[in-house]
Amino acid sequence: MSYLILVRHGQSVWNLEKKFTGWVDVDLTENGKLEAKKAGQLIKKEQIKIDFYYSSFQIRAKNTLKIIQGELKDFKEVNNAWELNERHYGALTGLNKDEMKKRLGEEKVHQFRRSWDLRPEPLDKKNPYHPLNIETYKKIPSKKIPDTESLKDTYERVIKFYSKEIKNKKSENILISAHGNSIRALCKHLFNLNDNEISKLEIPTGNPLLIEFENSKISNCKYLDQERAKDLLVF
Catalytic residues: 9, 86
User: Which letter does DSSP use for residue 127 in this model?
Assistant: S
Residue 81 · residue 144 · CB < 8 Å: no
d(CA 124, CA 26): 19
Alpha helices in the chain (DSSP H): 13-16, 30-46, 59-72, 97-104, 106-114, 151-165, 180-190, 195-200
Alpha helices in 51-142 (DSSP H): 59-72, 97-104, 106-114
